Amino acid sequence: MEADMRCIIIDDEPLALELLEDNIKKIDRLELVASCRSAAQAMQVMHEQQVDLIFCDIQMPGITGLQLVKSLSQKPMIIFITAYQEFAMDGFELDVVDYLLKPVPLERFLKACNKALHLFDMQSRTQVTETGKTRGHLFVHADYNLIRISHDEITYIEGLKDYVKLFRKDQPKPLLSRITIKALEEQLPANQFFRTHKSYIVNLGYIQSIRKGRIKLEGAEVPYSENYKEVIDRMIGKAV
């Protein structure tokens, strides 16, 4: 039996909250945790309870929906519901599940919820093991999809603030995903992947040669920092 998805609503308009509450009651497996009139109230709820999905207005007094989502270090899935179409690009950049324009027909709302539930179920079926690692693969969000990637196909990873680029064998373009390199590192097996630099993770299986300050991989070259030299020595079993 699939788990319910815990959600909250954030909207400063009482009528909008009431309509969303009614719609959520019609959707199986959606559990409404709280209805919030402000971003500050929602942040308090998320601090105290697990939240899997946020239905969020954008234009609100004080902290806007966009500001709230950008501020979250661990983001639940987001569905923006707004009267302003011009914010759609911002939603795309924040990798939200969907972007709905008010007034939202029930059929369109249901479609967005089904998409979120599908992603939620995929994540649930690939939960990490007790050691924090998935078995042979991981899932990342990219281009509005949850993409399954085998550990063995990842050659190296480059961190860019809140994003990472995942470079894969025989793929000309990297995948861009909104996750920190530290958070992604925690999902990878430590006997296969290691940090060479604050902004790079390398798959040990693709190393061809190492020289001072650089590691040559198949089709690429990445830096390594002296701060990680001890880790590199231990991983390859010899002095660099």
Domain ranges of the chain: 5-125, 137-236
Lowest mean pLDDT among 104-108, 188-192, 213-217, 228-232: 228-232
**What single DSSP character describes residue 155?**
E
100 has a pLDDT exceeding 60: yes
Residue 113 has what pLDDT? 94
Q: CA 158, CA 34: separation in Å to the nearest integer? A: 37
Please state, as a whole number, how many other Cβ atoms lie within 10 Å of the Cβ of residue 216.
14
Residue 127 has what pLDDT? 46
Report the alpha-carbon angle 98-99-105, nearest 5: 100
Percentage with pLDDT > 90 across the chain: 37
CA distances from 147 to 28, 122, 150, 161, 191 (A): 25, 10, 10, 21, 23
Query: Residue 200: pLDDT band by 50, 70, 90 thresholds?
Result: very high
Residue 74 has what pLDDT? 76
Largest interatomic CA distance in the chain? 67
Query: Residue 129: pLDDT band by 50, 70, 90 thresholds?
Result: very low
Q: CA 210, CA 12: separation in Å to the nearest integer? A: 57
Residue 15 has what pLDDT? 94
Most confident of 165-169, 192-196, 208-212: 165-169
174 has a pLDDT exceeding 70: yes
> CATH for 137-236, among 1.10.3450.40, 3.10.20.30, 2.40.50.1020, 3.40.50.800?
2.40.50.1020
For the chain, the straight-line distance linking the first and the last C-alpha, in angstroms and rounded, comes to 51
Average pLDDT, the chain: 84
**Mean pLDDT of the 81-98 span:** 75
Residue 218 has what pLDDT? 79
Element (H, E) at 110: helix 106-125
131 has a pLDDT exceeding 70: no
Residue 88 has what pLDDT? 63
**Long-range pairs for 226-232 at CB < 8 Å and ≥24 separation?**
227/198, 228/194, 228/195, 228/196, 228/197, 231/194, 231/195, 232/194, 232/196
pLDDT tens digits, 36-84: 999 999 999 998 888 999 999 998 999 989 899 888 877 899 999 988 7
In CATH terms, the fold of domain 5-125 is Rossmann fold (3.40.50)
27 has a pLDDT exceeding 80: yes
Report the alpha-carbon angle 25-29-32, nearest 5: 50
Burial 9-20 (b: 16+ CB within 10 A, else e): bbbbeeebbebb
Nearest by Cα to 127 from 202, 203, 52: 52
Identity of residue 20:
L
Q: CA 223, CA 199: separation in Å to the nearest integer? A: 9
134 has a pLDDT exceeding 50: no
Please state, as a whole number, how many other Cβ atoms lie within 10 Å of the Cβ of residue 221.
12
Q: CA 139, CA 230: separation in Å to the nearest integer? A: 30
